Structure 1
Amino acid sequence: MVAFEHPHPHGALAPTAHLELPFFDDAHRALANGLVAWTHEQKVGESDDRAACKEWVQRLGAAGWLRYCVPEAHGGALPALDSRALVILRETLAYHSPLADFAFAMQGLGSGAITLAGTPAQQARYLSAVATGEKIAAFALSEPEAGSDVAAMATQAVQTGSGWALNGCKTWISNGDLADFYVVFAKTDPGAGARGISAFIVDAGTPGLDSSAHIQVMAPHPLATLAFNNCAVGTDALLGPVNGGFKLAMRTLDIFRASVAAAALGMARRAFAEAVTHAKTRKMFGQTLGDFQLTQAKLGEMSALIDAAALLTYRAAWQRDCSATQGAGTPAYTAAAASAKLTATENAQRVIDMALQMFGGRGVQVGQTIEHLYRDIRSLRIYEGASEVQLLILGKNALK
């Protein structure tokens, strides 16, 4: 499959009217319009997800879009990571191709911890290469028995005379066996729970790292299990302070959580655009599908669900940018990002399901845009903090 085909000329471009909302400024609107025009020109074959991801990274890097994943000091487009820019980029890319969004997002998430806590040497070595697409990044946190419960991770890093030795297993790792480097989280004090986790930068090809076990999922994108068997890294591989890895992981995820909501929003907007076009053109019983009140009511519900998700998503991104001097992890922002991620992903699932129902049999035909979206959206309710985790964050925040 080629990145979503655009069978209808007026449905070819992602909508940008919502960017007139006061959360954004003129620079954000210019970014959005430029990206919409660029995506319209991109045709990438996606039957091989790994080859497609490599191609998307190369294209996004060559066009300068990956520069929004790193700060200006290291080849980035802006002085610091800007949540609203990330939201615009992910929403627009997901509208065009969820795989393009994935390729972009992993460059940011995979290098985010280096932006936050890397030494000048680490930042110089990795961030500029991420911004150009020369290096593909990955974030290795999850384990077979440690997903939402990060503190339960079993991978360990033991100090040696020349650095550290890593042993254990990471799984569900996006860009696994594709990345040029991994930010890996491991226990350096096994008895200390979350307070005993440290972060390390591990280059692909390091002896003792096996990333060959690929994972196949319903919406194909590069995933793998990483096995560490006395994987030796130098002292310069430690990222941030010893035993500071849990906070670093949470800070990194916090920055990008609102952008996950934006990706869901982009998919929902695309499904809605496809549904509207279909309703206007599908002939039934001597009229169009859109002439039926039942169809109009469904479109109305989809529109309201999208607007609700958009407002929460943009608010969270705006809130983080406005409070950047206080740090990304302020309680107000954390709650806002949780609310956005929860609502946008759950609402997008409902919107896409309603759109598929409107297409009838064609909606489940393999290769159709709606069928692809139906598979693509499902994982967003799980990764980077499942919906249930977001509910817990919001519930605990309410009790405070």
Structure 2
Amino acid sequence: MADRSFLDWPFFEARHREWADALEDWCALNLPVDHRDVDGACRALVADMGKAGFLKPTGLAAGEVFDLRTLCLSRETLARHDGLADFAFAMQGLGMGAISLFGSPEQRAWLDKTRSGTAVSAFALTEPGSGSDVAATAMSAEKVAGGWKISGEKTYISNGGIADLYVLFARTGEAPGARGLSAFLLPADTPGFEIVSRIEVIAPHPLAHFRLTDAFLPDSALIGTAGKGFAQAMAVLDVFRPSVGAAALGFARRALDEALARVQSRRVQGAPLSDLQMVQGHIADMALGIDASALLVYRAAWTRDTGAPRITREAAMAKLHATETAQKVIDTAVQLFGGDGVRTGEMVESLYREIRALRIYEGASDVQRVVIARQVLGGAL
């Protein structure tokens, strides 16, 4: 059983502990799911979590604000039980983040569907020629009578091919670079929308490359104000970046649990592995890294929940430290398992594949280092 003593930290209120307990009970009964049909599993996870009420934190009803601590607790708990469940939960929030923060009343009606699990959402930012460099977005949106005509391609889009709606970012040209982007709400049945290919990765998730060819979206599809898309995307990532760290934290906690069981049950020369000082050193490093990550993740969440308008520095630190540390913790767990650690079907082998993408998506680790440095240098001037 994973250490849950951190729930007594002053970052949390009683309602957070109650939520974590309820979700833990649900996970114990329902996870992991069968991953052989990834698309079907994701749809089922969204439906089941929505029916159980656990997707409510992923979107905002009128007058609500994001409870980032609940988002992070949810992702940590789900990731510890099943990486695909964490993915399904996270995309309902990230996919609709711009609608929660900037959407019109008409657009916000979609939140009733995504929070109840009756619609699957996606966040379409990355393009073949622009990953971390969002300002290089090439997808174009041309203003026409009554709406916009959009053309271009997006790639590595999570939930691509199964989503019912996409929030996408395109160049509307109000100014060069980042200042000329806008966000749009795209239903998946829009004429001109085409899935070009599905993308297979080391930890199976639904991903796709898609194309828009003169796809018409009405004026009502524009999210907020034209030319504000970059700022909207960054505001969404500010909210959800710490939750990536929380997912990494969940993976790391599961790896430590697996490693503890292994070193206490596996015997070498008549004694358990845990009697070896070198092994004890590895366990100490794993536990230390996990606690440090948890402090950074929940500091970021608490800071935003208590009124900070932006948490750029805190979010970047949380994501960077938690994802890099989880990679080290999981690698150590694989090492402690020996040959069994790389055998298909072992939990630590699955975690090894699951963690790698978290150091890339929503801002790669080196990008987070740049963000942190700029924040620190800016504060020192």
TM range (shorter): over 0.9
Which position in structure 2 is the counterpart of 1:91?
Answer: 76
Matched, 1:70 2:59: yes
Which position in structure 2 is the counterpart of 1:228?
Answer: 212
Aligned counterparts, 1:173-192, within 5 A: 173-189=157-173, 192=176
Contact 2:174 2:227 in 1 (8 A): no
Which position in structure 2 is the counterpart of 1:25?
Answer: 13
Query: Per the alignment, in what secondary structure is the counterpart of residue 186 of structure 2?
Result: strand
Instruction: Choose which of 69, 94, 115 in structure 1 pairs with 2:100.
Output: 115
Which position in structure 1 is the counterpart of 2:335?
Answer: 357
1:63-108 CA-to-partner distances (Å, cap 9, x unmatched) read 100011122439xxxx321010001000000000111000000000
Query: Per the alignment, in what secondary structure is the counterpart of residue 201 of structure 1?
Result: strand
Matched, 1:136 2:120: yes
Give the Cα–Cα distance (whole angstroms) in 2 for the partners of residues 51 and 367 of structure 1: 20
Give the Cα–Cα distance (whole angstroms) in 1 for the partners of residues 375 and 235 of structure 2: 17
Structure 1 position 212, deviation (Å): 4.5
Matched, 1:58 2:47: yes
Amino acid at match of 2:54: W
Amino acid at match of 1:159: K
Give the Cα–Cα distance (whole angstroms) in 1 for the partners of residues 61 and 155 of structure 2: 32
Give the Cα–Cα distance (whole angstroms) in 2 for the partners of residues 118 and 81 of structure 1: 14
Instruction: Choose which of 298, 310, 323 in structure 2 pairs with 1:345.
Output: 323
Structure 1 position 314, deviation (Å): 0.6
Structure 1 position 226, deviation (Å): 1.2
Contact 1:56 1:103 in 2 (8 A): yes
1:190-227 CA-to-partner distances (Å, cap 9, x unmatched) read 75110000010010021101125100001100000110
Give the Cα–Cα distance (whole angstroms) in 1 for the partners of residues 129 and 213 of structure 2: 18
Which position in structure 2 is the counterpart of 1:39?
Answer: 27
Aligned counterparts, 1:189-204, within 5 A: 189=173, 192-204=176-188
1:43-63 CA-to-partner distances (Å, cap 9, x unmatched) read 421122111111110111011
Cα 1:212–1:52 shift into 2, 3 Å: farther
Aligned counterparts, 1:273-288, within 5 A: 273-288=257-272
Amino acid at match of 1:36: E
Structure 1 position 15, deviation (Å): 3.4
1:299-348 CA-to-partner distances (Å, cap 9, x unmatched) read 00100010111100110000011125xx2x2xxx2101111100000000
Q: TM-score under structure 1 normalisation?
A: 0.92
Contact 2:94 2:240 in 1 (8 A): yes
Give the Cα–Cα distance (whole angstroms) in 2 for the partners of residues 185 and 307 of structure 1: 36
Structure 1 position 21, deviation (Å): 0.6
Amino acid at match of 1:66: L
Give the Cα–Cα distance (whole angstroms) in 1 for the partners of residues 48 and 71 of structure 2: 17
Amino acid at match of 2:137: M
Query: Per the alignment, in what secondary structure is the counterpart of residue 40 of structure 1?
Result: helix
Query: Per the alignment, in what secondary structure is the counterpart of residue 73 of structure 1?
Result: coil
Mean CA deviation greater in 228-237 or 100-109: 228-237
Give the Cα–Cα distance (whole angstroms) in 1 for the partners of residues 149 and 61 of structure 2: 33
Cα 1:218–1:190 shift into 2, 3 Å: farther
Identical amino acids, percent of aligned pairs: 49
Structure 1 position 186, deviation (Å): 0.1
Query: Per the alignment, in what secondary structure is the counterpart of residue 104 of structure 1?
Result: helix
Query: Per the alignment, in what secondary structure is the counterpart of residue 41 of structure 1?
Result: helix
Give the Cα–Cα distance (whole angstroms) in 1 for the partners of residues 268 and 174 of structure 2: 65
Give the Cα–Cα distance (whole angstroms) in 2 for the partners of residues 209 and 169 of structure 1: 10
Amino acid at match of 1:17: S
Where in structure 2 are there 5+ consecutive unaligned residues?
A: none
Amino acid at match of 2:74: L
Structure 1 segments, 4+ long, off by >4 Å, are none
Contact 2:68 2:239 in 1 (8 A): yes
1:216-249 CA-to-partner distances (Å, cap 9, x unmatched) read 0011000001101111111111111011100000
1:242-274 CA-to-partner distances (Å, cap 9, x unmatched) read 111000000011100110000000000000000
Amino acid at match of 2:344: V
Contact 2:125 2:169 in 1 (8 A): yes
Give the Cα–Cα distance (whole angstroms) in 2 for the partners of residues 274 and 18 of structure 1: 19
Give the Cα–Cα distance (whole angstroms) in 2 for the partners of residues 82 and 183 of structure 1: 21
Query: Per the alignment, in what secondary structure is the counterpart of residue 350 of structure 1?
Result: helix
Amino acid at match of 1:57: V
Query: Per the alignment, in what secondary structure is the counterpart of residue 226 of structure 1?
Result: strand
Structure 1 position 113, deviation (Å): 0.3
Amino acid at match of 2:177: G
Give the Cα–Cα distance (whole angstroms) in 1 for the partners of residues 336 and 174 of structure 2: 52
Give the Cα–Cα distance (whole angstroms) in 1 for the partners of residues 175 and 59 of structure 2: 34
